[in-house]
Amino acid sequence: MFDRRLVVNFDWILLLTVCSLAGIGILNLYSATANWQFASTPIYMKQLIWLGGGLALVLLICCFDYRHLEHFSILAYIITIGMLSSVLLLGKTSMGATRWLNLGFFNLQPSEVIKIVMILLLARTFGRTALPEGYSMADLWRPALLLLLPVGLILKQPDLGTALMLIFISMSMLLFAGVQNKTLLGLFILGGVAVVLGWFGLHDYQRERIQTFLNPEADPLGSGYHIIQSKIAVGSGGFFGKGFLQGTQSQLSFLPERHTDFAFSVFAEEWGFVGCSLLLLGYLFLVVWGIYIARHAADRFGMFLAIGVTAMIFWHIVVNLGMVNGLLPVVGVPLPLFSYGGTSMVTTMVGIGLLMNVSMRRFMF
């Protein structure tokens, strides 16, 4: 029977925050592509359509009890691993990377889907095992295996950015679950060894990105061009910005990938420090609200589910902003609700739907 408390507890604050950020992102995409000639639907209109589809998914996800997802997490994991394996055999290649499955009416990126699936699976794992003294190394072998399999498949595509996102999300959930001090030290040592050994396993273009991050001026017209133009755009915005549709770096096409990875650079040039501060406050509120939902969840599975989704959004924000400002290497991580991309938008909105679901049912058990 329908429970009226679901309507009463509907999280309008979360929904309005998400719609506001996405609306600003679509307006920014309109500006970023204002001088483009489109043979079909403009990019900002496509993003609006994806947002509409995402909102429909949010409402659909809110209609059922999130606790049922716990029982389907293992099956979802197996199916998604199968899709990741299929990408390596049948995937669509674009710009040197094989990351998409062509389903006819759209291209699916399984590496985005696995983020949500890993959150569900780790929420199930940590939710069922409460260790007051924290997790030891011996306790982590099963979650580690579950994580390393998709990370390995994603690195084969190759997609270093998404693989790192998966690791960051999982580590955030683990830290929230609690780890012993010696375990934390051991993980840091293993991470350091993995970074050193991983350097020799990187593709040439990935090494080049890291070297460019350390010294972009070494090749200003080649590998360093993206980040140099991005920093020029961000810096030239000044305090109040140049105004809507007035950004020279974007409107004169100096800034590459300005509708995807470097969408924030367009916004920074046009709206300046003041506009960026307000946008970042919006993102900060979204992350803090996600933590609030986790702390008030009705059960442990819901708590870890909310933490995982919040960590996913948080790390995408941190890595993208660090990337466009030259603080981190360029790894192709989109800014949630802001950068153009159908799969990214849908993944984010599915996460928002899960957050909304946990929030609505926090008083029901």
pLDDT band at 137 (very low <50, low <70, confident <90, very high): confident
Q: What is the mean pLDDT of residues 209-229?
A: 72
Q: What pLDDT was estimated at residue 267?
A: 93
Q: What is the mean pLDDT of residues 2-20?
A: 82
Q: What are phi and psi of 232, to 5 degrees?
A: -65, -45
Considering only 140-144, 175-179, 217-221, which range has the smallest mean pLDDT?
217-221
Cα distance between residue 14 and residue 118, in whole Å: 23
pLDDT band at 87 (very low <50, low <70, confident <90, very high): confident
Q: Dump pLDDT digits (tens) for 185-202.
A: 888 888 888 877 776 776
pLDDT band at 149 (very low <50, low <70, confident <90, very high): very high
Considering only 222-226, 290-294, 343-347, 359-363, which range has the smallest mean pLDDT?
222-226
Q: Dump pLDDT digits (tens) for 20-78.
A: 999 999 999 999 888 887 767 889 999 999 999 999 999 999 888 899 999 899 999 99
Q: What is the mean pLDDT of residues 216-223?
A: 66
pLDDT band at 1 (very low <50, low <70, confident <90, very high): very low
Q: What pLDDT was estimated at residue 327?
A: 86
Q: What pLDDT was estimated at residue 268?
A: 93
Cα distance between residue 280 and residue 278, in whole Å: 5
Q: Could you tell me if 232 and 243 are in contact, meaning their C-beta atoms sit under 8 angstroms apart?
A: no
Has residue 364 got a pLDDT over 70? no
H/E/C letters for each residue in the chain?
CCCCHHHHCCCHHHHHHHHHHHHHHHHHHHHHCCCCCCCCCCHHHHHHHHHHHHHHHHHHHHCCCHHHHHHHHHHHHHHHHHHHHHHHHHCEEECCEEEEEECCCCEECHHHHHHHHHHHHHHHHHHHCCCCCCECHHHHHHHHHHHHHHHHHHHCCCCHHHHHHHHHHHHHHHHHHCECHHHHHHHHHHHHHHHHHHHCCCCHHHHHHHHHHHCHHHCCCCCCHHHHHHHHHHHHCCCCCCCCCCCHHHHCCCCCCCCCCCHHHHHHHHHHHHHHHHHHHHHHHHHHHHHHHHHCCCCHHHHHHHHHHHHHHHHHHHHHHHHHCCCCCCCCCCCCCCCCCHHHHHHHHHHHHHHHHHHHCCCCC
User: Does 92 or 14 have the greater pLDDT score?
Assistant: 14
What is the pTM (predicted TM-score) of this model?
A: 0.91
Q: Could you tell me if 347 and 113 are in contact, meaning their C-beta atoms sit under 8 angstroms apart?
A: yes
Q: What pLDDT was estimated at residue 5?
A: 65
Q: What is the mean pLDDT of residues 128-155?
A: 86
Q: Dump pLDDT digits (tens) for 285-321.
A: 999 999 999 999 989 999 999 999 999 999 999 999 9
Percent of the chain with pLDDT over 90: 44
Q: What pLDDT was estimated at residue 215?
A: 66
Return the CA Rg of the chain: 21
Calculate ∠ Cα 67-70-71, nearest 5°: 110
pLDDT band at 336 (very low <50, low <70, confident <90, very high): very high
Q: Dump pLDDT digits (tens) for 229-275.
A: 888 888 888 899 898 888 888 777 778 788 888 899 999 999 999 99
